[in-house]
Amino acid sequence: MNINPLAGQLSPDSALVDVNQLIAAYYKQIPDAQVTAQRVAFGTSGHRGSSFRTSFNEHHVLAITQAICEYRQQQGISGPLFLGIDTHALSEPARISAIEVLAANGVNVMLSSGDEYTPTPAVSLAILMYNRGRHAATATATATAIAIASSIEQNTGLADGIVITPSHNPPDNGGFKYNAVNGGPADTATTDWIGKRANELMAANLKDVKRMPFERAIHAGTIHRYDFMNTYVSELEQIIDLAAIRQSGIRLGVDPLGGAGVHYWGRIAEKYQIDLTVVSDVVDPTFRFMPLDWDGKIRMDPSSPYAMRRLLDIQSDFDIAFACDTDHDRHGIVTPGAGLMTPDHYLAVAIDYLFQHRPDWGSKPGIGKTVVSSRMIEHVSKRLGRKLYDMPVGFKWFAPGLFDGSLGFGGEESAGASFVRMDGKAWTTDKDGIVAALLAGEIKAKTGRDPGQVYEQLTQEFGKPVSIRVEAPATPAQKKALSNLSPQQITSKLLAGDNITDILTTAPGNMTAIGGVKVITNNGWFAARPSGTEEIYKIYAESFKGEEHLHEIVAEAQGIVDVALSTIDGKRQQS
């Protein structure tokens, strides 16, 4: 991975996105449904792209929204749709387009009070709270559901949601995600149906898309307001021991990275009287305040030491500091001693702590991790005596378990996690960077040690793994080739000098394809797979034998990927 010389520094003004041109392109450029790169394509969590590349434009949003309306009708989903957006420049134009279609289709829509930005977990929580106790369209509503439904004429159907966000992606990106009635990211069958239908609508020049002018749509009787922020903040004490944080007096710092939760943190500090400093509340769609990431791009990734430079520079000012990405579904944890924790390290700590400090969870809930997460989590899970579910990349695989209680915790290597309430009931079934961040404060308050110190203790017990994630550009054709790697293409019996014990193309937790390959030895492993959100591929690797061994694993993994890429490139040249 070649590190850009400007990584960790602020972008020159000349390189910032031109927001006016970006929004103009959203309306002017018309995608061609016959061009693969311009079609609707749901990755691990939603459709993402840029209006400059004709991969996220008005036609995409209109078509996806109409497809969602048709899917809701097909599935009998007649309750309200909770709609949230983040702070990316394309999110507001997309919100307008979506409202025009939703209103024309007669969908009851819950918009944020005061047009406040809405974190992904706040949408997930709203869906779950509304649907609590409902098992069918005619089910009796709970008191909470009735209170919400009273503003929409006692609608008794189940609710779902849309979150308009490209997550941590660069400022020129837009994203559109559908959350199902279980509150989590829609499963593959659902997104496949929605994506296929959206592409059909685009191919037909949107002739079957119902739409009304925004001026009429926003005042339609089906458009309502919902206080996402106060609802979310008021429920937090059901999942985090905020009283312990308050009583400990520990100093917390948060950088919202200009994201959707920017105003949530002040409300949390005020309501629960905790010592929490918001280091910046700036919102700017160019994200000019963000240090450049490893490749010289602006990326609101709280797991990147380059993007987190601002918070790392003041880490000694706080007992615990943290940040969340643009839609606040990812977290980054900073401690005075460890600095920015590797996501997997913090997941292991969180799991170790939660399953020993949540007595009301009982013995049933298991632990969910992705196949590219650290083996340290396997060791912790075994010691805890909890069943481990090793799943493909994508939080949608954890949503059913968090919903039905078979999982107490679900986390992925890209710093996304959620867990259940103190009483064992579902909190959110989508990633929640806010509670993951606040949990770091609870750990410090209750144990006297910060997560970095706890992780060091785990390494004394299980060994000290080293890991790396390597990223490089990849075309859609190259990504497809990588996703189809098979065990037969791995001809070596050894990896970095160790016998290969297993080659996986499906996840043991649900026997679903991982979209790549994982090669395992007793002392390390690597996995190669394409990104679901960007035109890059990723190699994940871990070793329990040290840095030199890790580099050997990565070098051999890259050789395997290079063979796959050369194969697809060779075929292209011959054609």
The catalytic residues are 167
**What is the C-alpha separation between 203 and 209, in angstroms, rounded?**
12
Alpha-carbon distance 321 to 336, whole Å? Answer: 9
What does the alpha-carbon distance between residue 51 and residue 73 come to, in Å, rounded to a whole number? 29
Q: Let me know: does 307 contact 430? Beta carbons within 8 Å.
A: no
- The residue assigned the tokens 């999110």 is 91
Degrees to nearest 5, angle at CA 505 with 331 and 376: 45
Question: In what order do the strands lie in the sheet containing 160-164?
Answer: 42-43, 46-50, 173-179, 160-164, 81-85, 109-112, 223-226
> Alpha helix (H) ranges present in 184-261?
188-203, 214-217, 228-235, 242-248
Helices 343-357, 433-447: axis angle to 10 degrees equals 60
Could you write out the three-class secondary structure of 274-331?
CCEEECCCCCCCCCCCCECCCCCCCCCCCCCCCCCHHHHCCHHHCCEEEEECCCCCEE
> Which two tokens mark 252?
């917390």
Half-sphere exposure of 270 (CA within 13 A, CB side): 7
Instruction: Compute the residue count for the chain.
Output: 575
Q: Which residues on neighbouring strands pair with residue 162, listed in sequence order?
A: 83, 178
How far apart CA 518 and CA 502 sit, in angstroms, is 8
Which residues are registered as beta bridge partners of 332? 323
Q: Are 331 and 437 in contact (CB under 8 A)?
A: yes
